[in-house]
């Protein structure tokens, strides 16, 4: 299920040993095209929708989408990673917005 | 102490074995799979002996790998004050309808459980507490967490303790010595194409379960081929590696089937247990109360609760729902946070359906069957030290069988037990890593693993995806998948075995265009091996003990006289022939086993 990549925002994590999305994906599905320098999904149908790539992207170029055969156009869910917190912004197909913010780590 | 980056993928097209570079790493303890259990193996081993060289071979990247990669919203078992480890074993036994189960393993796990969960909290996991500071229980045994960072928290600790993590190395086979004992494992680097040989005094197999043997009902004509709730990248390679070398498997017929949210597979306990939302059918009847009160209603064994909505569909009373209507806004907000912690994209799915659970109930359906020894009992037969029947090979978490209902806390606890068992084995046997590399064994494994890539994309053969799809359809329709409401019979199972034999014979046509596809080719060969074992287990249990998990239409009743025991399989490494047999059950913890 396809992470949607905004090519205008993706820089392929140039300079890093591997891009953050290809590092994060538990299925080895993300890669960076050596010609364009942009990230792509090897096969969308193998995606688990775990959103690890979406959380990891430093330029917020990745959005997780539900495939149309399963859910309608267009809803969005965007994670914003903070220090010890996560904020999620969700918009449904009717435009209704909801925000969720909570602690995801305690101080050790 | 190192977390070794896998780097970016390279274009690697070897023509034969000589083009494949071999990297040899020697260590004391090898852990195959740095997930929930694997991380705890590493931490415990280094705690016992900081001088041990501990290596984790990880197929993905350890920060987001395995079943916990998306996060978790609860720890399903934590023994509350006033309850004992024996009480937990009794509960676990009830969940599997009175057993059989390995009560020795279950008890040792239960004794270790709370300390392992406390570790997680010490490492930074937010466990939700009541205002008086006590832990917030959402059911009898399960506690609520904000586990979005659960996997990174465990992984950081494994790295911090001094283990070396080799990322993006997909394990393919075990390494054995002249006596047939396990002395490490081998795998392919999915980015560089190098072949890694890890030689170790002891090896813990903690690769996770097998989540993709059966077809998901959402797989047809959608971009959602992996719409399963278990990690779809845990394909059963750990089972396959041991099975190929003759290690004994137990109880694979007790498949894990769970009630899940329909069309977009998410947890249901989150709503039904966590928020007391009843399960209803299309007429609004409360299913568990209307039809299963005599089996415990909402507290009925887990397989009965899993099968109940599917029975409603079968009887013409679907759709089925978890009735969330009328939840107040704040409670609903908390429920959405739970989902965001474990299965965040389910919240996106609801948004994409334009659905407000306060106004519309959440639809539910049965999942496809998975083999997972952390949930049900399928896995390696192990000793109390968690050693498999192959000396030197240990199992923890989903790979260790006979001991159901472990979940996150139990897999963590078992990681500790396996680490202790492995260290004890090293000390008692004085096992050493051989001086010379067994070149022949390594060469044969490279030949087997890389063959699809040597054939290349232009070869007139079979792409791994096609073989995976074929297997998943076969298992779904003949070995009791969701399309068949989990039912099967002797003739269907024989049919499945016949076609599994054809698939195995067709491994020689598999082809791969790149390293990612080569990994998929090997995963699918592993799936076929595990599927064969599953079918033998289903064939051998000629009764119906756990309807839904294991339903035989030709033997619809429970048969305690013949089958109150474990079903085992073993494959002869030289002939490839699979034999099934039984092992007896021993009740260790007192109490009534069969309540109905």
Per the CB < 8 A criterion, the answer to whether B573 and B245 are in contact is yes
| Across B143-147, average pLDDT | 95
Report the C-alpha gap between B159 and B146 in whole angstroms.
22
CB contact under 8 A, A66 and B352: yes
State the pLDDT at residue A1.
57
Q: Is the pLDDT of residue B331 over 90?
A: yes
Distances (CA, A) of B143 to A52, B23, B83, B338, B407: 24, 44, 15, 12, 12
| Across B398-418, average pLDDT | 98
Report the C-alpha gap between B275 and B288 in whole angstroms.
16
CB contact under 8 A, A26 and B226: no
Per the CB < 8 A criterion, the answer to whether A72 and A93 are in contact is yes
- pLDDT tens figures, B554-579: 999 999 999 999 999 999 999 999 99
Q: Is the dihedral of CA B452, B229, B493, B302 positive or negative?
A: positive
**Contacts with B240 (C-beta within 8 Å, 6 or more apart), sequence order:** B525, B526, B527, B529, B530
Number of DSSP helices (H) and strands (E) in chain A, helices first = 2, 7
Q: Any alpha helices (H) in B16-102, and if so which ranges?
A: 36-48, 85-95
If we measure between CA atoms, which residue out of B151, B154, B150, B147 comes closest to residue B41?
B154
B462: left (phi over 0), alpha (psi -120 to 50) or beta: beta
Query: Chain A closest CA to B376's CA: distance in Å?
Result: 22
Q: Is the pLDDT of residue B273 over 90?
A: no
Decide: residue B435, CB within 10 A, 0-12 exposed, 13-18 middle, 19+ buried: exposed
Report the C-alpha gap between B320 and B287 in whole angstroms.
9
pLDDT by 10s per residue, chain A, length 108? 579 999 999 999 999 999 999 999 999 999 999 999 999 999 999 999 999 999 999 999 999 999 999 999 999 999 999 999 999 999 999 999 999 999 999 987
Report the C-alpha gap between B263 and B278 in whole angstroms.
19
Report the C-alpha gap between B100 and B98 in whole angstroms.
6
Dihedrals phi, psi of B381, to nearest 5 degrees: -70, 125
Report the C-alpha gap between B235 and B213 in whole angstroms.
7
- pTM of structure: 0.98
Please name the residue of chain B whose CA is at the shortest distance from the CA of residue A13: B8
Q: Distance between terminal CA atoms of chain B?
A: 53
* Average pLDDT over chain B, rounded to an integer: 96
In chain B, which among 280-309 make CB contacts under 8 A with chain A?
A: none
In chain B, which among 407-466 make CB contacts under 8 A with chain A?
A: 465
Task: Report ipTM (2 d.p.).
Answer: 0.98
Chain A neighbors of B221, CB-CB under 8 A: 69
């Amino acid at each position: 299920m396809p992470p949607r990549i905004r090519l205008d925002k993706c820089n392929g994590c140039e300079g890093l040993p591997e891009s953050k999305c290809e590092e994060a994906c538990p299925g080895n599905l993300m890669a960076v095209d050596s010609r364009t320098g942009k990230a792509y999904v090897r096969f969308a149908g193998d995606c688990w929708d775990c959103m690890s790539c979406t959380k990891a992207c430093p330029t917020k170029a990745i959005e997780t989408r539900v495939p149309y055969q399963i859910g309608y156009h267009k809803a969005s869910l965007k994670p914003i990673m903070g220090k010890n917190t996560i904020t999620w912004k969700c918009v449904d197909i009717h435009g209704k917005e909801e925000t969720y913010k909570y602690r995801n780590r305690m101080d050790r | 102490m190192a977390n070794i980056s896998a780097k970016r993928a390279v274009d690697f097209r070897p023509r034969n074995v000589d083009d494949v570079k071999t990297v040899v790493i020697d260590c004391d303890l090898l852990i195959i799979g740095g997930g929930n259990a694997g991380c705890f193996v590493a931490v415990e081993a280094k705690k016992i002996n900081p001088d041990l060289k501990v290596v984790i071979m990880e197929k993905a990247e350890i920060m987001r790998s395995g079943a916990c990669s998306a996060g978790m919203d609860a720890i399903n078992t934590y023994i509350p004050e006033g309850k004992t480890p024996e009480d937990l074993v009794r509960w676990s036994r009830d969940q599997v309808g009175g057993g059989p189960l390995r009560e020795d393993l279950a008890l040792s796990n239960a004794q270790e459980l709370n300390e392992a969960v406390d570790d997680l909290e010490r490492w930074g996991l937010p466990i939700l507490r009541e205002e008086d500071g006590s832990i917030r229980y959402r059911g009898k045994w399960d506690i609520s967490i904000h586990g979005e960072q659960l996997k990174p928290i465990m992984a950081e600790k494994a790295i911090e303790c001094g283990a070396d993590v080799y990322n993006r190395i997909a394990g393919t086979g075990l390494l054995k010595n002249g006596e047939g004992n396990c002395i490490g494992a081998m795998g392919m680097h999915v980015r560089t194409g190098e072949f890694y040989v890890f030689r170790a005094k002891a090896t813990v197999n903690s690769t996770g379960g097998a989540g993709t043997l059966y077809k998901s009902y959402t797989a047809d004509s959608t971009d959602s081929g992996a719409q399963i709730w278990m990690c779809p990248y845990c394909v059963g390679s750990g089972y396959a590696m041991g099975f190929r070398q003759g290690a004994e498997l137990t109880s694979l017929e007790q498949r894990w089937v769970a009630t899940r949210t329909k069309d977009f597979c998410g947890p249901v306990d989150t709503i039904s247990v966590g928020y007391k939302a009843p399960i209803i059918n299309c007429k609004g009847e409360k299913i568990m109360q209307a039809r299963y009160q005599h089996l415990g209603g909402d507290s009925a064994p887990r397989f009965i609760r899993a099968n109940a909505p599917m029975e409603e569909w079968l009887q013409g009373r679907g759709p089925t729902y978890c009735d969330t209507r009328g939840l107040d806004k704040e409670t609903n907000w908390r429920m959405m946070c739970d989902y965001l912690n474990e299965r965040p994209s389910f919240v996106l799915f609801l948004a994409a359906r334009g659905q407000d659970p306060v106004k519309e109930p959440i639809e539910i359906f049965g999942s496809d069957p998975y083999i997972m020894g952390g949930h049900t009992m399928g896995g390696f037969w192990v000793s109390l030290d968690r050693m498999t029947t192959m000396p030197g090979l240990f199992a923890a978490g989903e790979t260790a069988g006979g001991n159901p209902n472990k979940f996150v806390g139990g897999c963590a606890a078992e990681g500790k037990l396996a680490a202790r068992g492995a260290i004890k084995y090293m000390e008692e046997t004085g096992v050493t890593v051989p001086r010379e590399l067994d070149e022949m064994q390594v060469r044969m494994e490279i030949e087997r693993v890389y063959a699809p890539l040597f054939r290349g994309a232009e070869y007139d053969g079979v792409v791994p995806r096609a073989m995976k799809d074929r297997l998943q359809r076969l298992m779904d329709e003949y070995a009791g998948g969701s399309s068949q409401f989990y039912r099967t019979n002797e003739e269907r199972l024989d049919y499945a075995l016949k076609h599994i034999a054809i698939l195995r014979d067709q491994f020689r046509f598999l082809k791969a265009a790149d390293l990612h596809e080569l990994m998929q080719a090997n995963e699918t060969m592993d799936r076929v091996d595990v599927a064969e074992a599953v079918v033998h287990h289903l064939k051998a249990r000629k009764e119906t003990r756990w309807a839904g998990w294991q339903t035989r239409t030709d033997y619809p009743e429970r048969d305690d006289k013949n089958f109150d025991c474990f079903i085992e399989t073993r494959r002869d490494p030289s002939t490839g022939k699979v034999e099934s047999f039984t092992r007896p059950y021993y009740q260790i913890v007192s109490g009534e086993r069969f309540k109905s």
